[in-house]
A and B are shown apart, each in its own frame.
Chain A
């Protein structure tokens, strides 16, 4: 009995072997990075630039760069594959770059194409480019030994690891984008001397790129939403209160700023809405930090200095939050996710994004920062 069943099974399997076409790894071009632009020839087509691995014994290069145009992102991929001797496969896309123009028009169509295809990974990174994605991917290659796509991917991953800005994996982006009262952000990649670099953080209104903030502010956005750990940060505070603690014989101007380099060991925030009608939010942020470097030699040898430093850093943070929030309100985008809190507090309402956009400029926010200097290194 058993033999018969086994034989029947094996023969049928072998007979039906042809049912799934085999595509071996080396026959595929595994796409690593994809850039999405809107074609310049005003046909409103999508232009993709693809960096894909090619496994060819003959050539030295592991990667190859291709581009194609089409009305859909998959169509553009097909177009690009006409110049490649292998099947372009989207299962390992690690980074997707959106050209500025494309991002301003809204990236949801591209994202939904990625989500619909079960083969595409949810852990791909998203970023916006300051010029066109094509330019970054082709011209950025110049000085790099690694391929641009991989280089950028390591770059962004490292920054996310350090909590420098909110993580921009596809699953985070789609989640935040489709949440009511929460807008996503993305890093902006720019070419500096033919080398790609993260130049700032892009603010999105839903899926549209509207404004840009600095990397430092990117951290503030992240700190507002998430608990951050081990983030290196530069802080500038007025030098005046510290004059007597600073080592003499350095030329100091009273209006100078004291620059500190710190590691934020742990930053945690909590946002409350004491009264729903007021449209007022209170945020408390607790920060533990290590002092690593000061721009002027100074000694932190008594508690007073430490408290003073903490106070000044707190002030600096509050100030930065105020300017940032004003900027956000002006841009009409809410990466802090205040609308989410509002929606959660609101009973019996089906808040929509449009409603929140109308209310957002009237929102007031009070940020209260508590800084704790925990460590000054080996010298006082």
Chain B
């Protein structure tokens, strides 16, 4: 397995699209329930938690970019093989792939649950899963170019939903944020940790990086994207805290969706229905990027044709989403993904950076020694 990826020029993408990749994978099902989860930990100071979390993510992104810069054109799978050797490196790569698949599953089942709660209680998980998986397969078959197109287009087509939040935003009660700065540092950090599932996904950067054409321009869109998703989560959380009383927010499962319930127009109302359906546009880019990560990872690691792994993983997902359909089972899956994601995404890059730098230094010294001899 090559450490660096040789990329055909027609597969390359502009760095500008990284913005859409990162922000559409970060904004997914998490944001629907995020305000409540953060609020439980940090109360009215949740906004501080979100800011802390987003600063931390910027640091992680810096670290990730720094790791990637040490190589000519490598992805995480290649780097791990380089650092840990073939067997351990591939094993860690497999962990990555499994983690992607698990995240994909968690997104899928959460969305199915939301659809069932808000629109069709009688809908079978199988049908809903089948629909979504069909869309995933169809777009992943188009390759990375189509996947990024889906991210880009669906990103634009789903952001009008923000306009519907103006009405609840006008009903904010400022006293809900007072007294400010009450949460202890520990609570704030807990709150920041609670955002981890919502913010997950930017690790896809480790996979798409070799595809970027103008890497020198990659920084800006990446940071803008993480800024944008942090801003949206901040925005929705602030509205949710201001709009719902503390007691209500503590109990509302999908607080953000409930915000859409009050908007009315003369010809249409109850936007929560439309929003839940429209949310499909938010999660599909999310899922196809993850699915691409899985298939591409399998190809890189074990030379499995992408089509084979695409169909296999889809079938497995379909089976899994049919059976995991109770609320607490779903929560369990999400928690597991969150825990794994916390270590893989938020902690591991630091370790990896140290190892990469160490290895580079070692290589250099060795090279110097050789030269000296």
Contact = CB atoms under 8 A, between A and B. Distances in A.
Contact of B118 (A118, A180, A345): A118
Interface string A1-37: 1000100010011001001110000000000000000
* Most chain B CB neighbours (cut-off 10 Å) among A179, A180, A337: A179
Contact of A344 (B134, B175, B247): B175
A318 interface: no
Interface stretch (B95-103, B262-270, B288-296): B262-270
Given A121-B270, A171-B261, A344-B175, A1 B141 contact: yes
A169 interface: yes
Contacts of B248: 174-175, 178
A20 B126 contact: no
A179 B262 contact: no
Given A5-B138, A347-B179, A178 B247 contact: yes
Contacts of A174: 245, 248
A175 B127 contact: no
B278 interface: no
Given A169-B262, A171-B262, A12 B130 contact: yes
Contacts of A122: 258, 261-262
A19 B179 contact: no
Contact of A175 (B138, B173, B264): B173
A16 B137 contact: no
A346 B117 contact: no
B120 interface: yes
B187 interface: no
Interface string B240-265: 00011111100000000010011010
B178 interface: yes
Nearest to B114: A118
B175 A123 contact: no
B172 to A, nearest CB: 11
Interface in A127-180: 169, 171, 174-180
A19 B175 contact: no
A356 to B, nearest CB: 13
B316 interface: no
B237 to A, nearest CB: 17
B134 A345 contact: no
B357 interface: no
A266 interface: no
A16 B261 contact: no
Query: Main SS of the interface on chain A?
Result: helix
A227 to B, nearest CB: 11
A341 interface: yes
A344 B122 contact: no
A176 B137 CA distance: 47
A337 B134 CA distance: 52
Contacts of B272: 118
Given A169-B262, A171-B262, A343 B127 contact: no
Nearest to A1: B141
B312 interface: no
A174 B262 CA distance: 13
A5 to B, nearest CB: 6
Interface size range on A against B: 20 to 34
Given A19-B122, A20-B120, A175-B248, A121 B261 contact: yes
Nearest to B181: A347
Contacts of A340: 173, 175
A174 B173 CA distance: 13
Interface string B115-157: 0011010111011001100100110010000000000000000
A12 B132 CA distance: 13
Q: For the side of the interface on B, what is the size category? A: 20 to 34
A347 B45 CA distance: 13
A9 B134 CA distance: 7
Contacts of A16: 124, 126-127, 130
Contacts of B243: 175
B182 interface: yes
Given A9-B134, A122-B261, A122-B262, A178 B245 contact: yes
Nearest to A12: B130
Given A1-B141, A5-B138, A9-B134, A123 B122 contact: no
A348 interface: yes
Contacts of B123: 19-20
A345 B130 contact: no
A220 to B, nearest CB: 20
A341 B248 CA distance: 19
A91 B121 CA distance: 14
Contact of A118 (B117, B124, B137, B178): B117
Interface in A175-228: 175-180
Contact of A341 (B175, B245, B264): B175
A19 B129 CA distance: 13
A115 to B, nearest CB: 8
A345 B173 contact: no
Nearest to A347: B179
Contacts of B269: 121, 123
Contacts of A12: 130
Interface in A107-125: 118, 121-123
Nearest to A8: B134
Given A16-B127, A19-B123, A346 B179 contact: yes
B254 to A, nearest CB: 9
A343 B262 CA distance: 27
A345 B180 CA distance: 9
Nearest to B124: A19
A178 B173 CA distance: 13
Contacts of B120: 20
Interface of A: 1, 5, 9, 12-13, 16, 19-21, 91, 118, 121-123, 169, 171, 174-180, 337, 340-341, 343-348
16 contacts: A9-B134, A16-B130, A19-B122, A19-B123, A20-B127, A91-B270, A121-B269, A122-B258, A122-B261, A123-B262, A171-B261, A171-B262, A174-B248, A340-B175, A344-B178, A345-B178
